[in-house]
Structure 1
Amino acid sequence: MTVTTLTPKTQASTTFHHCRAALGDRVLRLQDEPLAILKGLYRLGALVVTTFADGGRVSQSMRYPALLSGEEDLESRGSQCRLNQHLNLPLWRSVMAVLAPVADLPARSLLFFDRFGEPVQQMAVAPETGGLAFEELVCAMLHPDQRQLGAPPPRLPTLPKAVPSVAELERQWSHGDDEGFGELLARVGDRRQVLYQAVRDKFACPVRAETVPSLLALASRREYGYTVCTGNSGVKLCLTAPWSAPRWQKGHCHLAHNGVLVSLDMGRVASVWRLRRPGAGRVVTALEGLDAQGRWLWTLSGGEDENAWLELLGDSLIQEGAPGRRMA
Structure 2
Amino acid sequence: MTLTATVATLTPAPRASTTFHHCRAALGDRVLRLQDEPLAILKGLYRLGALVVTTFADGGRVSQSMRYPTLEDGDDGLEARGQQSRLRHQLNLPLWRSVMAVLAPVADLPPRSLLFFDRFGEPVQQMAVAPETGGLAFEELVCAMLHPDQRQLGAPPPRLLAGPTAVPSVAELERQWSHGDDDGFRALLAGIGDRRQVLYQAVRDKFACPVRAETVPSLLALASRRDAAYTVCTGNSGVSLCLTAPWSAPRWQKGQCHLAHQGTLVSLDMGRVASVWRLRRPGPGRVVTALEGLDAQGRWLWTLSGGDDEDTWLSLLADSLIPDGAPGRRMA
Q: TM-score category by the smaller chain? A: over 0.9
The size of the alignment, in residue pairs, is 319
8 Å Cα contact 1:215/1:313 also seen in 2:
yes
SS at match of 1:23: coil
The one of 215, 221, 226 aligned to 1:222: 226
Task: Give ranges in structure 1 of 5+ residues lacking alignment.
Answer: 1-5
Q: Any idea what the Cα deviations from partners look like across 1:196-240, whole Å, max 9, x if unmatched?
A: 000030100100000000000000000001000000000000000
- Partners in 1 of 2:83 and 2:188 — Cα distance? 35
1:67-113 alpha-carbon deviations (Å, 9 max, x no partner): 11101011000111110000000000000000000000000000000
2:107 corresponds to 1:98: no
One-letter identity of the residue aligned with 2:263: G
Task: Call closer, same or farther: CA 1:310–1:71 in 2, change over 3 Å.
Answer: same
Residue from 263, 275, 280 that aligns with 2:279: 275
Equivalent residue, structure 2, for 1:153: 157
Shift of residue 323, structure 1, vs aligned partner = 1.7
The equivalent residue for 1:45 is 49
Could you say which residue in structure 2 is the equivalent of 1:128?
Answer: 132
> Given residue 188 of structure 2, which amino acid in structure 1 is its aligned partner?
L
249, 252, 262: which is aligned to 1:248? 252
Secondary structure, counterpart of 1:147 in structure 2? coil
Percentage of pairs with the same residue? 87
Which stretch of structure 1 is more off in the superposition, 7-16 or 300-309?
7-16
Secondary structure class of the residue paired with 1:202: coil
* Residue 118, structure 1, aligned to residue 110, structure 2: no
- The 1-side partners of 2:152 and 2:204 are apart by 50
Pairing 1:304–2:271 present: no
Q: Distance in 2 between matches of 1:89 and 1:151?
A: 21
Matches within 5 A, 1:286-305: 286-305=290-309
Contact 2:14 2:155 in 1 (8 A): no
Other-structure match for 2:166: 162
The whole-number CA distance in structure 1 between the counterparts of 2:10 and 2:149 is 33
After TM superposition, give the deviation of residue 282 of structure 1 in Å: 2.8
- Root-mean-square deviation (CA, aligned residues, Å) is 1.3
Residue 178 of structure 1: CA displacement?
2.4
1:216 and 1:225 map into 2 onto residues whose CA distance is 10
Partner of residue 181 from structure 1, selected from 166, 178, 185? 185
Query: 2 CA distance for matches of 1:115 and 1:181?
Result: 28
The runs of 4+ residues in structure 1 deviating greater than 3 Å are: 6-10
CA distance in 2, matches of 1:10, 1:307: 48
CA contact (8 A) 1:272 1:289 kept: yes
Residue pairs, 1:68-107, within 5 angstroms: 68-107=72-111
Q: Does 1:18 align with 2:12?
A: no
Structure 1: distance between partners of 2:181 and 2:154: 41
Shift of 1:277: 1.2
The one-letter amino acid of 1:19's match is C
Q: Aligned-pair distance for 1:7?
A: 11
Residue 223 of structure 1: SS of its match in structure 2? coil
> Residue deviations 1:242-276, cap 9 Å, x none?
10000000000000010110000000000000001
Check conservation: 1:162, 1:188, Cα contact below 8 A. no
Shift of 1:157: 1.2
Letter in 2 for 1:58: V
1:235 maps to amino acid: V
Q: Whole-Å Cα distance in 2 between the matches of residues 149 and 198 of structure 1? A: 45
Contact 1:288 1:297 in 2 (8 A): yes
